[in-house]
Amino acid sequence: MARPKPLSGFPEYLPRERMVELAVLDTLRETFELHGFANVETRSVEPLTQLSRKGEITKEVYVVRRLHADEHDSNELGLHFDLTVPLARWVLEHSGHLQFPFRRYQIQKVWRGERPQEGRYREFTQADIDILGQGELAAHHDVEAPLVMLEALENLHEQIGLAPVLMHVNNRKLSEGFYRGLGIEDTLAVLQLVDKYAKIGPQATQELLVSELGLTSSVADKCVQLAGIRSSDTGFVQQVRDLGVSDPLLEEGLTELVTLVEQAHKRVPGRLCADLSIARGLDYYTGSVYETELVGHEAMGSISSGGRYDSLASDGKNSYPGVGISLGVTRLLAPLLAKNEFVVSRSVPTCVVVAVDNEDTRSGADEVAALLRARGVPCEVAPKADKYGKQIRYADRRGIPFVWFGGLVGEVKDIRSGEQQPADAQEWMPSDHTDLWPQVLPAE
């Protein structure tokens, strides 16, 4: 077989790169669980009808069919393209077994048949947290969800040197209330145009509001002025008031956004700003909305987005309002890994290679390794009773720090320093505990 070629849009990692991803996933899991989120996985497929929005199936869906399916196999399936639509279905299906408010995190692959390009993938991993209520959900959860994600990202900043983030937040009530205060009826249409503000700038946004939605020039001006407001503290309130528009929904949105900005300032200072251009294209958001930039990598686009939704799921008897935020794990990591932004201390979990004198004493080496493992030290036994120099090279090529010689009471060599010392397999541990498992560190 000739050397296979990669499939565009389906990234794969070498073991070292996967170690970085595993470290990231471990940190996410730990942070989410410390906040009481339970893990859920949903099946990878949904009926195609579930993957449509208002009857329209977006073209990015991958359809899945058995190769020799019956012609009458009516149950057409597609791979899920996010973790929110499956969550809505799963909660309706299992609501009788859940306690509300229900907090779940979900880390899975999703698929989109988009044209592959930098930062866009056809198969990629998402990590979502959501809090769902039954009938109602208090507004303080709108503050909680983004702060949990910011805490996870801050942990990654501290632990593996991920660049710091800046989360941009807004509130749909604020924007829609403002538009209503201006006398605009189709507020969603304005939001969807304002969503382009960051890309096309204020001038072009203003022109589109006039030409496409028929707003008067002065009303369109106000909308663009609102979108231009940005502050790292609660200064945005006065700036909004200065525009002279009033509406009860606007007030509600202002109050919620103030609380979010204040709480974030306390818990993760410097990582969140009010940015009234943030709109989020999706129509199901009804309150807070979030987008997140990796500082110094703004061209990546938002790595973590979400918001409040009041009626994503409903079974007629109950509605399930919620708030959630999703981290694009592959979208974040794949470009950074390609640029070698992280260093891994070795390419295998192994801490110690136990050398083999000759094939007849291999089982003695197996015993040493078993004893070390029982005490939590990752070990391999050398694959061949080569000369010691060759066995040391086996370890060296993989970045494994130690080689063990002899039996249960033997000697251990740190092949980086060349130092060799007596060691007892019942007691030995690496003197530097960071040598025990591979470490992920920022590249210098």
- Residues numbered 298 to 337 that lie near its own copies (CB under 8 A) are 313-316
The reply on whether position 101 binds its own copies by CB under 8 A is yes
Q: Which of 14, 188, 295, 299 binds its own copies (CB under 8 A)?
A: 14
CA 419 distance to own-chain centroid: 42
Q: Which tokens belong to 156?
A: 């990654």
Residues 21 and 329: beta-carbon distance below 8 Å: yes
Alpha-carbon dihedral 107, 268, 306, 80, rounded to 10 degrees: -10
Positions 170 through 189 that interact with its own copies (CB under 8 A): none
Nearer to its own copies, 152 or 229 (CB): 152
Min dist CB 350 to its own copies, Å, is: 4
Residues 161 and 442: beta-carbon distance below 8 Å: yes
Judged by CB under 8 A, the stretch of 30-38, 212-220, 292-300, 423-431 that binds its own copies is 30-38
The reply on whether position 140 binds its own copies by CB under 8 A is yes
Nearer to its own copies, 85 or 254 (CB): 85
Min dist CB 225 to its own copies, Å, is: 32
- For the beta carbon of residue 13, count every other beta carbon within 10 angstroms: 15
Positions 141 through 160 that interact with its own copies (CB under 8 A): 141
Min dist CB 251 to its own copies, Å, is: 18
Positions 387 through 416 that interact with its own copies (CB under 8 A): 397-398
Q: What single letter denotes the amino acid at residue 1?
A: M
Q: Which tokens belong to 414?
A: 């740190």
Min dist CB 277 to its own copies, Å, is: 28
How far, in Å, CA of 257 to CA of 255, rounded? 6
* N- to C-terminal Cα separation, the chain: 40
Q: Which of 13, 166, 232, 252 binds its own copies (CB under 8 A)?
A: 13
Judged by CB under 8 A, the stretch of 191-199, 284-292, 379-387, 419-427 that binds its own copies is 379-387
Judged by CB under 8 A, the stretch of 165-173, 187-195, 220-228, 341-349 that binds its own copies is 341-349
Residues 77 and 45: beta-carbon distance below 8 Å: yes
Positions 55 through 84 that interact with its own copies (CB under 8 A): 57, 59-69, 75, 77-79
How far, in Å, CA of 269 to CA of 303, rounded? 19
Positions 187 through 246 that interact with its own copies (CB under 8 A): none
Buried b (16+ CB within 10 A) or exposed e, 15-35: ebbebbbebbeebbbebbeeb
